[in-house]
Amino acid sequence: MFPRAMPYPRGRTRSVAGTMNKLELAYSLHLEMLLRADLIAFWKWDCISLKLAKNTHYRTDFLVMQKDGALEIHETKGNHMEEDAWLKLKLVAEIFPFPVMLVRKDKTKGWDIAEVQLDAVGMLPRKPKPAHAS
C-alpha cells in the first residue's frame, strides 16, 4: 500500500505545482485585461525564484512590467496571511531593487493593491495574549 499523504499544516489545501489557485487565476485575467488595454507592458506568472537566505527562497506569484519598463512583484493573498509569508515579502522588498505589491481581492472595490513598505512594522494583526490569573 501507498503511505497516506500528510495533511498540510493549519488545515489549508496544498496547491498543485504549475497550476494557479482561484485568486491567482482571477488576478491573471485582470492583468491580461490591463495588457490588452495597453496599461501594462508585460506580465508572467510563477516565473522567478529569489534566494533570501540559505535554504530560504521566495517564488513570485506575478512579475509585472509597467509601461515605463519598471518591474514589480505582485503577490496575491486571500483574507488571511501567515506571519512567515509577510516576513518573506518584507525581506524581498528590502533585498531586491523592485517594488513588492500585495494584491488582495475586495468584493466591493475590486483589486486592492498596496506596496509593501519597509518601515511598516507590525502590520499583521496579533492575537491578544490571554490574561493570566494571579
pLDDT at 14 over 70: no
What CATH architecture does domain 20-115 belong to?
3-Layer(aba) Sandwich (3.40)
Average pLDDT on 65-86 reads: 91
pLDDT band at 125 (very low <50, low <70, confident <90, very high): very low
pLDDT score, position 40: 97
Per the listing, cell 483574507 goes with: 79
End-to-end CA distance of the chain: 53
pTM of the model: 0.75
Cα–Cα distance for residue pair 14/8, rounded to 1 Å: 6
